[in-house]
A and B are shown apart, each in its own frame.
Chain A
Amino acid sequence: MEGEQRRLLVRFTGEDIGHGTRIVLPRLSLVLHEGERVALLGQSGAGKSTLLGELRRRLDRRAAWCPQHHGLVPQLAVYHNVFMGRLPEHSALANLWNLVRPLRRPWREVAALCDELGLAGLLRRPVGELSGGQRQRVAIARALYQARPLFLGDEPVASVDPHQALRLLGLIDARHTTSVIALHQRELALTHFDRVWGLRDGRLSIDAPVDRLTLAELDALYPDADAARRGPDALDADIGVPGVDALPCPRGRS
């Protein structure tokens, strides 16, 4: 396979991953190569954030980071939130002064980036006044502004519509050689990524290129989908949980 020749970025060999003494992913083994675009799937609480956190720790300054729930400062303007992506590159004094009066070069760079993300004209607006989708894009802008070769995102396209999600993933791809992105949209994972890591019950139950996977195999990552597949006799007939495909939007299936 062509991936074998590529440079190795991270390798886990039977390692226990977790927070302190609480192990979330016991004896995890996986490798990440340069140039791979990995979709990370699994139901809420499966350990996606834990795995991303560990990757972030190992990759340190090589990775740009877009956290779950954005982690923005609602009181600060869009410009300042995006600028935070490059705080370490300026002196403490410059960072302080930038709060009083934006530095000229970063302002131009952030303005150009925000134009691309459809945030033009919002640079001075406090993030707290933006809509959910706009905040999502600010969080992505902050990660892009870090200008790292690698992108780690914890559900960065969770609160935007499917078309926008595609466009944002395209932007991320254009600016990073490698990415690991946690998602809930299984279709996106198959159409837009090279590889899928699927977590279930603390195990990496799927680690394969997308061309060898089907939607049904991805469904196996979600216990709620099992129950629906097993048919009405496995369910409480009175409650009548609808099948996954009956739900109107892909987010509902996760």
Chain B
Amino acid sequence: MNDSQPALPPAGWKAWWRGQSPGLRLARHTLGLVALAVLLLPFADLAIHTRDPWGELGRMAAGLAWPAWGALESPFSALGLTVAVALWGTLAGVILGFPLALLFARSRLVRAGCAFLRAIHELFWALLFMQVFGLSALTALAALAIPYAGIFAKVYAEILEQTPPAPRNALPPGSGRLARFVYAELPLAWTQLAAYTRYRFECGLRASVLLGFVGLPTLGFHLETAFREGRYAEAGALLWLFYGLIAGLPWWGHKRLTPLLLVGGAWLLGPWPSVDGALLWRFVSEDIWPAALLAGDWAGLVEWLARIPALGPAIGNTLLLGLLGTVGALAVALALWPLASRHFGNRATRLAGHGLLVLLRSTPELMLAFVFLLLLGPSLLPAWLALALHNGALIAFLVARHADAIAPGMPALPASGRLAYELLPRVYPGLLALLYYRAEVILRETAILGMLGIATLGFYVEEAFDYLMFDVALFLLLVTAALNIAVDALSRRLRPRAVPLDDPCVR
């Protein structure tokens, strides 16, 4: 060998690929995830069952383009109820969650309890409470407040934990615990706490719409009915109403208007159901437990377990859909973020990109899945598309915002070079971290997509509720929760470290 050529590139792609730079590690990581998804793809049912999906899509698009405003019955009461449930549900979540946040760091029991509350989707809580409180506002409020209490407890605790310690340490010795909290901790965390509460309220708005899918008369109820009956022009009008609601949030959701909305909302929530204490007690103490367990009959319990339908395939489908949804969201995010970034395209393309992202991320997954289901028939495909598009758009939006804050070192590069050399290496670790944060959310959504007839755990949960087999329903809910907690722990281990995600609103 000639000594004057010391700096040869590594021999062959294998040596190059084995490098230890963070970029290569992330690339291997990503390709591993994609390879796993591709490997498992044959096990997923991705068939298209409808005869004429394109014609159906055309009719839907026509409905969205020419909405039938006149056909809506009482849209404003549905709208009002949607807002009232979201507002009061979030408020109740704050009231329950805040004290838990103060105990969060100290009590393992509180942490585990909150993880459990979070792991079950709002709609499942609604199904559960509906057995006791019927189709009432109480069911809707509890369905939002309970999981949100768990979420608030965790996120508030994390925010409070990150307040700088210097003001605390500067206090004279002997300052009481309460004084320390209200003077040297709460004011430092206030802006972030308020921002997160606001974000959660927006989520609550979407969840409140979805509660219509289980029969509560919010916007979603009318949407589902209109879609199911093929009245797409009416559905289109309702969808525009929903987008208007989300887009107008900064105006009607202003801080000063909140008390007014709370009082007005309380008016809309009634009438309150009369709760039969005996019935409630029977539900809690007997109905939701397997009879064999209450009787202490272990053989009977095993038999009861064996009778639960298709548990293995349901778990498999749930996990598979979660994985496919995560990988799909990654692909969608990678494809869409440049559309909304200031570094690419012109004014018109950016505006269109922004519009697309807003549309995709403000439409709840369940609604997207529902529309795709009508188009494509019941398989994993519509659920996959819905999860990938919604979550991908959400991540793309955040990544575009991150990229916009970067000033490229060589602005004269062509667009492809700017993407591959300047921006992608900088935003990709953040993108992957966001994806892992969303993986848990995606899995949670996966379970509820079952309510649309896709064979995930949610399908069997709803079936159990329909047949009044509350013991089976509770068992399946516990399995769902355990699955979520496990995936959350796994994604936390896999997520790239050293990427600070200081914005709690991504969770």
Q: Which residues of A contact B (CB under 8 A)?
A: 60-61, 64-65, 67, 69-76, 80, 84-88, 90, 92, 95-96, 99, 139, 142, 146
For chain B, give the interface size range.
Answer: 20 to 34
Residue in B171, B187, B190 whose beta carbon sits within 8 Å of that of A87 in the complex: B171
A87 to B172, CA, bound (A): 7
* Contacts A73-B184, A76-B183, A96-B182; A87 near B166 (Cβ below 8 A): no
User: Is there an interface contact between A65 and B178, defined as CB atoms closer than 8 Å?
Assistant: no
Residues of A within 8 A of B179 (CB): 87-88, 90, 92, 95-96
Q: Beyond A73-B167, A95-B182, A99-B182, is A61–B187 a contact (Cβ under 8 Å)?
A: no
- Give the residue among B170, B183, B190 with the most A Cβ atoms within 10 A: B170
> Would you call A87 and B169 a contact (CB within 8 A)?
no
How far is it, in angstroms, between the C-alpha of A88 and the C-alpha of B175 when the chains are bound? 4
Q: Which residues of B contact A73 (CB under 8 A)?
A: 167, 183-184, 187-188
- Is B176 among interface residues, defined by CB-CB distance under 8 A? yes
**Do B169 and A60 touch across chains, with their CB atoms under 8 A apart?**
no
The interface residues of chain A lying within 8 Å CB-to-CB of B170 are 65, 67, 70-72, 84, 139, 142
Q: Are A87 and B188 in contact (CB under 8 A)?
A: no
B174 within 8 A of A: yes
| Contact present for A61 and B172 (CB under 8 Å) | yes
Contact B166 A69 (CB under 8 A): yes
A80-B183, A95-B179, A95-B182 in contact; A71/B173 too (CB < 8 A)?
Answer: no
Which residue of chain A is the closest to B166 with respect to CB atoms? A71
Please measure, in the bound complex, the distance between the C-alpha atom of A146 and the C-alpha atom of B191, giving whole angstroms.
Answer: 29
Asked if B190 and A65 sit within 8 Å, CB to CB, the answer is: no
Residue of B171, B172, B175, B182 ringed by the most chain A CB atoms within 10 A: B172
Contacting residues, chain B, for A92 (C-beta < 8 A): 176, 178-179
Instruction: Closest A residue to B188 by CB, please name it.
Output: A73
Query: Would B178 and A71 count as touching, CB distance under 8 A?
Result: no
Q: Does the CB pair B182–A84 fall under 8 Å?
A: no
The reply to whether A85 and B172 form a contact with Cβ atoms under 8 Å apart is: yes
Closest to A95 in B: B179
Residues of B within 8 A of A72 (CB): 167, 170
Against A, the Cβ 8 Å flags (1 = close, 0 = not) of B169-210 are 111111110111011100110110000000000000000000
Q: Using CB atoms, name the residue of chain B closest to A77.
A: B187
Q: Assuming A73-B188, A142-B170, A146-B172, is B183 touching A84 (CB within 8 A)?
A: yes
In the docked arrangement, what's the CA distance between A64 and B171, Å? 10
Whether A75 lies near B190 (C-beta < 8 A) is: yes
State the CA gap A90–B175 with chains docked (Å): 9
Q: With the chains together, A133 CA to B437 CA distance in Å?
A: 42
Interface pairs A-B: 7 shortest CB-CB: A71-B170, A88-B174, A71-B166, A87-B175, A75-B187, A95-B179, A92-B178
Chain B residues with Cβ below 8 Å from A67 are 166, 169-170
Residues of A within 8 A of B182 (CB): 95-96, 99
A67 to B168, CA, bound (A): 11
17 additional A-B pairs beyond A84-B167, A84-B171, A96-B182, beta carbons within 8 Å, are A67-B166, A69-B166, A71-B167, A71-B170, A72-B167, A73-B167, A73-B184, A75-B188, A80-B183, A84-B184, A87-B176, A88-B172, A88-B175, A92-B176, A95-B182, A96-B178, A142-B170
Min CB distance, A88 to chain B, in Å?
A: 4
